Amino acid sequence: MKRNLEKIRQHYDHVAGVYDSRYGGSVGNRYHGHIRDHVMRCLPPGGDLLDLGCGTGLFMAHYLSNGGTAVGLDLSYAMVHAARFQNGLDHVMAGTADRLPFKDESFDAVSSILAFSYVPDPAAMLAEVSRVLRPGGRVAICTLGRNLFTSALPAVYRLGERVHWRRIGVGDFGEHYYTEEEMEELFAAAGFVETKVNRCSFAHVNLSRPIFDLAQRAEPLVERRCPYLAFNICASGKKER
């Protein structure tokens, strides 16, 4: 798994310069914004936030725009550099989520968007999240979910790596696609209460604009009536007081 982490680091170092263009255009901003809104609804506004796998700081910037403070941590040095010097975020550092360089009870909220699937020891990460959260603090994680469509993605991404298909997130990284039950069990084992797990996202950023528009119009119905077709999972919980 250490080899996989180094591959992941190298990949995101390589794409850091184009990362914001993927999520900053019309399609990318709407895709990321939909996930961001799911996560924001689970967190207290105006608090002290820790964003794990923060990338270039897109979610941090959104949280800051609603008040509060934000600290980010990412595996990729180039992503940290981009967050600091492209997006003007001072409190960003490199590191891994299983050993957080913060004191106990330092934050009111912890977020993680599309990074949890890469974490080799999710139980260790959630234990660390619980440690750095203040009593009553909340965590919200959006991660890759397992369904009929995503079950084929690892094979597609392995092929993409062999043919040098240079897209963000494409590679043989050993990522894990979670079920709702797995997320519920992990949160419960870490001691979180008031846990909520739901699926989100039906319109994917890789779709062409016309197809993305159609999928996004169907997204609320899919998430409400056919959640298994949604490919991300959002899980949240509260640290007991």
Domains of the chain: 2-144+175-238 (3.40.50.150)
pLDDT (average), residues 140-164: 73
Confidence of residue 204 (pLDDT cuts 50, 70, 90): confident
Which residues have CB under 8 Å from 115's CB, separation 6+?
Answer: 52, 53, 55, 97, 143
Does the pLDDT at position 14 exceed 80?
yes
Mean pLDDT of the chain: 91
Is pLDDT larger for residue 184 or for residue 23? 184
Is pLDDT larger for residue 237 or for residue 168? 237
- Quick: pLDDT tens for 70-129: 999 999 999 999 999 999 999 999 999 999 999 999 999 999 999 999 999 999 999 999
pTM equals: 0.92
C-beta contacts of 201-204 below 8 A and 24+ residues apart? 201/31, 201/34, 201/35, 201/230, 201/231, 201/232, 202/229, 202/230, 202/231, 203/30, 203/31, 203/34, 204/31, 204/231
| Confidence (pLDDT) at 169 | 59
Which stretch of 1-5, 24-28, 49-53, 212-216 has the lowest confidence by average pLDDT? 1-5
Does the pLDDT at position 145 exceed 60?
yes
Which stretch of 29-38, 147-156, 181-190, 222-231 has the lowest confidence by average pLDDT? 147-156
pLDDT (average), residues 49-62: 97
Find the helix or strand (DSSP H, E) in which 73 lies. Answer: strand 69-74
Confidence of residue 21 (pLDDT cuts 50, 70, 90): confident
Strand order in the sheet with 193-200: 92-94, 69-74, 48-52, 107-113, 133-144, 232-238, 193-200
pLDDT (average), residues 37-52: 97
| Confidence (pLDDT) at 150 | 76
Does the pLDDT at position 24 exceed 90?
no
Does the pLDDT at position 146 exceed 60?
yes
- Quick: pLDDT tens for 153-203: 655 655 555 655 555 555 667 789 999 999 999 999 999 999 999 999 999
| Confidence (pLDDT) at 25 | 80
Confidence of residue 64 (pLDDT cuts 50, 70, 90): very high
| Confidence (pLDDT) at 167 | 59
